[in-house]
Amino acid sequence: MNERISALREQFEKRLAAIQSLQELEEIRVSFLGKKGLVTEALKGMGALSDEMKRTLGKETNELKSMITVALGEKLEAIRQLEEQRQIDQMPDFDVSLPPAVEAGSYHPITLVQRQCEQVFRSMGFTVEDYSEVVTDWECFESLNIPKFHPARDMQDTYYLENGQLLKTQTSAAQNAIYLKYRDALVKDGVPIKAIFPGRCFRNEATDACHENTFFQMEGVMVDRNISISNLIYFMKTMLSEVFRKDIRVRLRPGFFPFVEPGFELDISCLICGGSGCASCKHSGWLELCPCGMIHPEVLRMGGIDPEEYTGFAFGLGLTRLAMMKYGVADIRDLNSGSLVRLSQFVDDVQV
Ligand code: DAH
């Protein structure tokens, strides 16, 4: 075989073995079989050869050309298959054309009731405020008329940080900040303060079916001229009927909280036992759901509001208890259990 032809064949085989992509394959094709390719080059100067040699060289060149063409074709197919396999390997393990999984996650029952309450209060003109979980002694106690060494502090032991701050025991801890935030609008522009502030609270407590060290409340305040207990009762009734969507028995009785005067306990008849008494309601048939009252003048004053001109009400709705009652969760500890089997079964009629 002609030396140049066999050198070309060798060169081609070497390069063919090394290629990985379709692009390289095309480059090789052009460089060997193209108009100015190596095979054409090899035939240059053939004019000087004898007829015999020309014939042999021509034949060998054609054989080389068809060998290259066949080899390129086979390589093309091999690369295509490899590429296809690579794409298959990269595909996720599930069938993307299937309809979405039925279990797409669910809201926690407390989130559900929180959003419902927010909807109800928003529709009545309340703003929804966010507040931190770590607060100062002033926010959680002093500004709520609970000075140091006041016996009311005993009811709310909590977790203290080394810097003296604490995990808030009650959403009431945001009251002072809310008064200061909206006081100017109230006094200068006559805009009533109407705000709710849901949040997580903490207490250093032994846990049982109706007590947890971590639970949720939703505080609400309204301050304006001439706000009275009737306003308070109206808003509480509206909220409860919207959230439960059925008649529930409610009772209002006096309750002591240093930041309201007068203060009330708003109880609902226990929906777990129907009022006959169970572990969820401490066997009383009633559940303290929403303590409330008229904001103490001193608390308004500390919030920069003149209690001679303005009055207001405040309430501290137990969101965790509300979720228990609404969804029939008998043990409060289930709500913090993280058990998806238990927590994912609550879907609500209300869009949240
Ligand atoms: N912060 C009180 C608690 O956690 C509940 C409470 C009582 C809030 C009366 C209020 C209120 O706003 O007026 O025990």
pLDDT, block means (10 residues), the chain with 352 residues? 84 91 91 88 77 86 91 92 89 78 78 94 97 97 95 91 96 98 98 98 91 95 97 91 86 96 94 90 92 98 98 96 90 89 73 54
Residue located via tokens 């009400």: 313
Do strands 292-295 and 127-128 pair parallel, antiparallel, or not at all (unpaired)?
A: unpaired
User: Does the Cβ of 292 fall within 6 Å of ligand 1?
Assistant: yes
For the CA of 169, the closest atom of ligand 1 is 4
Q: How far apart are the CA of 170 and the centre of ligand 1, in A?
A: 7
CA 176, CA 153: separation in Å to the nearest integer?
A: 18
Which of the listed residues 202, 259, 295, 300 should we mutate to test ligand 1's pocket, taking the one with most ligand atoms within 8 A of CB?
A: 259
Summarised one tens digit per residue, pLDDT across range 220-257 is: 999 999 999 999 999 998 988 888 888 888 899 999 99
**263 close to ligand 1 (CB < 6 Angstrom):** yes
Characterize 183-208 residue by residue with b for buried, 16 or more Cβ atoms within 10 angstroms of its Cβ, and e for exposed: beebeeeeebbbbbbbbebbbeeeee
**Cα-to-centroid distance, 257 and ligand 1 (Å):** 7
pLDDT of residue 162: 96
pLDDT at 53: 84
pLDDT digits (tens, 9 = 90+) for 177-188: 999 999 999 999
Phi, psi of 304 (to 5 degrees): 80, 20
312 lines ligand 1 (CB under 6 A): no
Output the pLDDT for position 1: 62
Per-residue pLDDT, 103: 63
Expressed in angstroms and rounded, the spacing between residue 226 Cα and the centre of ligand 1 is 21
Alpha-carbon radius of gyration of the chain = 40
Cβ 325 vs Cβ 105: under 8 Å: no
Listing DSSP states for 101-115 in one string gives PS------HHHHHHH
Residue pair 78/19 in contact (Cβ under 8 Å)? The answer is no
pLDDT of residue 102: 63
**pLDDT attached to residue 4:** 82
In eight-state DSSP terms, residue 192 is P
Residue 220 CA: nearest ligand 1 atom is 12
Give dist(CA 320, CA 212) in Å, integer: 10
Please identify, by atom number, the ligand 1 atom nearest to the C-alpha of residue 175.
12
Ligand 1, atom 14, lies closest to the CA of: 170
Residues 234 and 115: their CA atoms lie apart, in Å, by 20
Mutating to test ligand 1, I would choose from 167, 170, 171, 221 the residue with most ligand atoms within 8 A of its C-beta, which is 170
The SS3 assignment for 197 reads strand
What whole-number distance in Å separates Cα of residue 170 and Cα of residue 294?
17
Q: Residue 281: CB within 6 Å of ligand 1?
A: no
List of residues 6+ apart from 138 with CB closer than 8 A: 176
Nearest residue CA, atom 6 of ligand 1?
316
Cα gap 130→34, rounded to integer Å = 73
* Domains of the chain, start order: 3-86 (no CATH), 109-340 (3.30.930.10)
Q: CA distances (Å), 235 to each of 122, 189, 203, 220, in order?
A: 12, 23, 28, 10
Tell me the CA–centroid distance for residue 144 and ligand 1, in Å: 10
Which helix (H) or strand (E) is 294 found in, with range? strand 292-295
pLDDT given at position 136? 98
Q: What is the pTM of this model?
A: 0.70
- Cα–Cα dist 182/129, whole Å: 12
